[in-house]
Amino acid sequence: MSVTISIIVANALISLAALYAVPQMFEKLMLKPHRVVREKTWYELVSSGFIHAGMGHLFLNMFVLFFFGLVLERTIGQGHFLVLYFTGLIVSSLPSVYRHKDDPEFATVGASGAVEGVLFGFIFLFPLEPIYIMFIPIGIPSIIFGALFLIYSVYASKGGGRINHEAHIAGAIWGFLYLILFVPNTIDHFLSVFGLI
């Protein structure tokens, strides 16, 4: 079984258990920066990525992971993909821990940061591949989609709300950085797509 499918199955099982079977799991696994800093519950940086706020949240994250994760996993290999995903969970949680460490009410859940790392890893390797969005009949080159997504996330992060845009931004940046730093020849590949080498 692929790593992508294994991660999707784990997310589904743990999220559904926390939502409907063992609600105390939800409280235990969520990321609460105030608790992390004071009680040293650093596992929350990973555990919070396996629970979701509801079925829609779970479905959207796993839908994106399925379509982009399978391709990226085949391209960079299972080992790199696994490390990218789990480091993406950690890296994308750090801005929330720093920003909300003194707020006992703040909590966040979901795999979005790691999923953005996967999505932006895909974008880095396939920058001209079209991405289709509902109700838009033409594909948008993935690099343009990525740029628009980051611009929106930066703008939206200033307004607060329930969506953790900081995790999206950090995960997206990590997707690029991981490939550049740890996967050989990715910069050359990126430049060759545009005919620059």
3-state secondary structure 53-103: CCHHHHHHHHHHHHHHHHHHHHHHCHHHHHHHHHHHHHHHHHHHHHHHCCC
Contact yes or no for 36/45 (Cβ under 8 A) = yes
* Residues ≥6 apart with Cβ < 8 Å to 5: 66, 70
Quick check: 136 pLDDT over 80? no
Main-chain phi, psi angles of 142, to 5 degrees = -60, -35
Question: CA 77, CA 29: separation in Å to the nearest integer?
Answer: 29
Q: Where does the pLDDT of residue 1 fall: very low under 50, low under 70, confident under 90, or very high at 90 and above?
A: confident
Q: How many domains does the chain have?
A: 1
For CA atoms 178, 181, 184, 190, the dihedral sign is positive
pTM here?
0.95
Q: Where does the pLDDT of residue 160 fall: very low under 50, low under 70, confident under 90, or very high at 90 and above?
A: low
pLDDT digits (tens, 9 = 90+) for 32-44: 999 999 999 999 9
Domain of 91? 3-193
Q: Where does the pLDDT of residue 125 fall: very low under 50, low under 70, confident under 90, or very high at 90 and above?
A: very high
Quick check: 116 pLDDT over 70? yes
Domain with residue 70: its CATH number is 1.20.1540.10
